[in-house]
A and B are shown apart, each in its own frame.
Chain A
Amino acid sequence: GAVVSQHPSWVICKSGTSVKIECRSLDFQATTMFWYRQFPKQSLMLMATSNEGSKATYEQGVEKDKFLINHASLTLSTLTVTSAHPEDSSFYICSARGGGLGDTQYFGPGTRLTVL
């Protein structure tokens, strides 16, 4: 149980285009989902927290207009990187919490974004 999926697993796009990443909780209802960014050989940096049906709460320094987060249902959250640039290239990981599973976050497999 407590499986979280992400799609796509990797994506390459041109500079200036937008990319959408999906995060799904497959076997539980995620009241809260989190989006992290991980640079090579570094730890995870929390970007934002989203609760189902509410606006996401962004961490300091994260541009909300650039990283659009939607948590429209209890099993799906999306992260859209708008007008992507090479510096947005990174590993994006989502996690989900809820469904009576306590405060443990369950992580997706990550999405590797490369912006050319």
Chain B
Amino acid sequence: AQSVTQLDSHVSVSEGTPVLLRCNYSSSYSPSLFWYVQHPNKGLQLLLKYTSAATLVKGINGFEAEFKKSETSFHLTKPSAHMSDAAEYFCVVSDTGGATNKLIFGTGTLLAVQP
């Protein structure tokens, strides 16, 4: 069965400094992995997804993530944080072994950006 673990519930960075949000996954199949962002009282926006093509995935708003099979990780990074990046981030794995390809969510990482 697939699962995903977000290693930090809260991350705080200063504006202009790098962002690292950590995610480890467990999967019996070749996984599809996603990062979604949720701003307060809003729905989820897809940042990027990995589907067994290039291991370094570039997303929107300057975010990228690297799929590392040996480490079962899919960490999200951004070189320079903006105030607008403050939000909740979810690492998600798709249950590709199931008929419905359900999404399995991590518990989320709340990113705070200090001025």
Query: Could you list which residues of chain A lie within 8 angstroms of chain B, going by C-beta atoms?
Result: 4, 6, 32, 34, 42-44, 46, 49, 57, 91, 93, 95, 97, 102-110, 112
Contact = CB atoms under 8 A, between A and B. Distances in A.
- Top 6 closest A-B pairs, CB basis? A107-B44, A109-B43, A107-B43, A43-B105, A110-B43, A103-B101
B90 A49 contact: no
Contact of A43 (B32, B102, B107): B107
A100 to B, nearest CB: 15
A44 B105 contact: yes
Interface stretch (B22-30, B34-42, B55-63, B68-76): B34-42
Interface size class of B (residues with CB under 8 A): 20 to 34
Interface stretch (B11-19, B45-53, B77-85): B45-53
A59 B46 CA distance: 24
A105 B60 CA distance: 16
A42 B110 CA distance: 11
Contacts of B51: 102-103
A49 B100 contact: yes
Given A32-B100, A104-B46, A107-B46, 6 more contacts: A6-B43, A34-B102, A43-B90, A103-B101, A107-B44, A108-B43
B23 to A, nearest CB: 13
B106 A93 contact: no
A43 B43 contact: no
A109 B41 CA distance: 8
Nearest to A59: B102
B34 A43 contact: no
B46 to A, nearest CB: 6
A107 B41 CA distance: 13
13 contacts: A34-B103, A42-B107, A43-B90, A43-B106, A44-B44, A44-B90, A49-B102, A57-B100, A95-B44, A102-B51, A104-B34, A104-B46, A107-B45
